């Protein structure tokens, strides 16, 4: 029986030899730990030529609370691996392949994606991947449709909801997205210069009520098995490929949460570009982002409707016109969650490189101000923004 122990590089190599599924595992010779070392160890396992062939990821227990939280901590590897395995069934081209996992060791062996780059880093540098938006939309449609009530048998769905109960990671989202940016909280990380703007969020009744509604949907609307954290830093890209990783927040929640998170990180980049690139490059990049926002939604909606038309198993949900009506609600949720993600990435603790990499302080504050204002607008206007085109018009309007 396996028992938790922290892996050394040598352990990781041995583990990859055993579970990496290579025809000739003996070629694996060395490992490098490339994770941030805080919550997870991430080892790249190299062959004799120094080519990375396999990735071994191991969850570390939270250092400060090894006692009580231990079992939950281990469980996040099961949840991540099972979410990826489930999503891989339906979007194999866009989901990292899990080769093996062991819940007790809190370890997961995955395909190597060294030929890919993290999308956020590329967006920050102004590198454009024209195919990424459509691929992301495809990924979202395939994973979310096939884990929804349209497709799963009701008994299977109910069992899956129970299997993917993810209290610890959901609680992080519940706090970081929906509470902390709207109260005075030590973890918030916006600059002092923005205090008046941020303070105005706290007392905006309409905004706070809308955020409460989005949090309530996050709690209660078990529509599909979400990735749960599908931002541009959880997405690997090449010229022709897009792969989602890091699904430890997976659980059954509102479809608009995943779609909105994806769009939000494109819009944060939109807001940040003037601080990152030359004016001309920034203008080009902004148009690319808007095109991507529309492209993600259109690809998602088109594929979702096509899947609903051909593969819906539920008799009532299969009625012609229902899937389209449902997607209108998903869109409203999407715009709202998009706004919430923008605000939690700018006001809250989880700041992103798009903003952090802006060296000029005044410019960085301006970009933050722009993003926060946009986030608020989206949350408030979600029910009045009819489609992706109207969303883009709102974004242009906001500056």
How far does CA 325 lie from the centroid of its chain? 25
Give dist(CA 156, CA 114) in Å, integer.
36
Q: Is 386 annotated as a binding residue?
A: no
Nearer to a second copy, 192 or 316 (CB): 316
Give dist(CA 164, CA 264) in Å, integer.
25
Q: Is 246 annotated as a binding residue?
A: yes
Considering the complex, what minimum distance in angstroms separates the CB of residue 63 from a second copy?
Answer: 22
Nearer to a second copy, 126 or 213 (CB): 213
Alpha helices in 34-166 (DSSP H): 70-90, 119-125, 132-146, 154-163
CB atoms within 10 A of CB 160: 18
Give dist(CA 362, CA 275) in Å, integer.
9
Q: Is 360 annotated as a binding residue?
A: no
Tokens of residue 289, six digits: 């982002």
Tokens of residue 197, six digits: 């703007």
What is the sign of the dihedral through the CA atoms of 164, 167, 172 and 174?
positive
Nearer to a second copy, 40 or 312 (CB): 312
Nearer to a second copy, 269 or 334 (CB): 334
Q: Is 186 annotated as a binding residue?
A: no
Nearer to a second copy, 216 or 396 (CB): 216
Nearer to a second copy, 145 or 182 (CB): 182
Residues 6+ apart with CB under 8 A from 160: 86, 147, 152, 225, 252
Give dist(CA 92, CA 78) in Å, integer.
19
Q: Is 215 annotated as a binding residue?
A: no
Considering the complex, what minimum distance in angstroms separates the CB of residue 255 from a second copy?
Answer: 10
Give dist(CA 142, CA 152) in Å, integer.
13
What is the sign of the dihedral through the CA atoms of 333, 334, 335 and 336?
positive
Q: Is 14 annotated as a binding residue?
A: no
Positions that interact with a second copy (CB under 8 A): 149, 154-155, 157-159, 161-162, 165-167, 170-171, 174, 178-179, 182-183, 205, 208-209, 211-213, 215-216, 219-223, 314-317, 319-322, 325-326
Considering the complex, what minimum distance in angstroms separates the CB of residue 196 from a second copy?
Answer: 21
Considering the complex, what minimum distance in angstroms separates the CB of residue 147 from a second copy?
Answer: 11
Q: Is 24 annotated as a binding residue?
A: no
CB atoms within 10 A of CB 352: 20
Considering the complex, what minimum distance in angstroms separates the CB of residue 157 from a second copy?
Answer: 7
Considering the complex, what minimum distance in angstroms separates the CB of residue 221 from a second copy?
Answer: 6
Annotated binding site for substrate: 229, 344
Specify binding-site residues for ATP. 40, 57, 111-113, 246-248
State the binding site: 40, 57, 111-113, 229, 246-248, 344
């Amino acid at each position: 029986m396996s028992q938790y122990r922290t892996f050394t590089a040598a352990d990781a190599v041995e583990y990859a030899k055993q579970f990496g599924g290579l025809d000739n595992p003996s070629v694996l010779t060395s490992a490098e730990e490339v994770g941030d070392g805080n919550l997870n160890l991430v080892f790249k396992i190299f062959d004799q030529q120094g080519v990375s062939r396999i990735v071994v990821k191991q969850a570390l227990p939270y250092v400060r609370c090894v006692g009580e939280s231990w079992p939950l901590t281990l469980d996040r590897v099961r949840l991540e691996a099972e979410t990826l395995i489930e999503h891989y069934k339906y979007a194999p081209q866009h989901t990292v392949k899990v080769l093996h996992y062991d819940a007790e060791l809190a370890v997961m062996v995955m395909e190597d994606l060294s030929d890919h780059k993290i999308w956020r880093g590329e967006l920050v540098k102004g590198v454009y991947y024209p195919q990424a938006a459509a691929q992301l939309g495809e990924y979202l449609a395939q994973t979310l449709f096939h884990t929804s009530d349209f497709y799963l048998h009701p008994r299977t769905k109910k069992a899956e909801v129970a299997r993917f109960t993810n209290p610890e990671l959901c609680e992080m989202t519940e706090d970081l997205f929906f509470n902390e940016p709207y109260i005075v909280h030590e973890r918030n990380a916006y600059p002092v210069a923005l205090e008046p703007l941020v303070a105005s969020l706290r007392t905006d009744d309409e905004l706070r009520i809308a955020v409460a509604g989005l949090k309530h949907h996050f709690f209660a609307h078990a529509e599909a098995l979400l990735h749960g954290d599908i931002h541009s830093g959880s997405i690997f890209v090449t010229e022709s490929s897009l792969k989602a990783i890091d699904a430890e927040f997976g659980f059954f929640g509102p479809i608009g949460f995943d779609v909105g998170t994806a769009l939000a990180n494109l819009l944060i980049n939109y807001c940040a570009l003037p601080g990152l690139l030359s004016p001309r490059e920034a203008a080009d990049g902004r148009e690319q982002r808007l095109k991507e926002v529309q492209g993600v939604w259109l690809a998602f909606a088109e594929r979702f409707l096509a899947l609903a038309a051909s593969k819906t198993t539920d008799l009532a949900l299969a009625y012609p016109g229902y899937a389209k009506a449902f997607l209108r609600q998903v869109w409203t949720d999407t715009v709202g969650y998009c706004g919430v993600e923008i605000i939690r990435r700018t006001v809250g603790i989880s700041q992103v490189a798009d903003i952090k990499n802006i060296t000029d302080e005044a410019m960085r504050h301006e970009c933050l101000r722009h993003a926060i204002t946009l986030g608020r607008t989206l949350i408030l206007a979600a029910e009045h923004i009819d489609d992706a085109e109207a969303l883009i018009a709102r974004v242009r309007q906001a500056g």
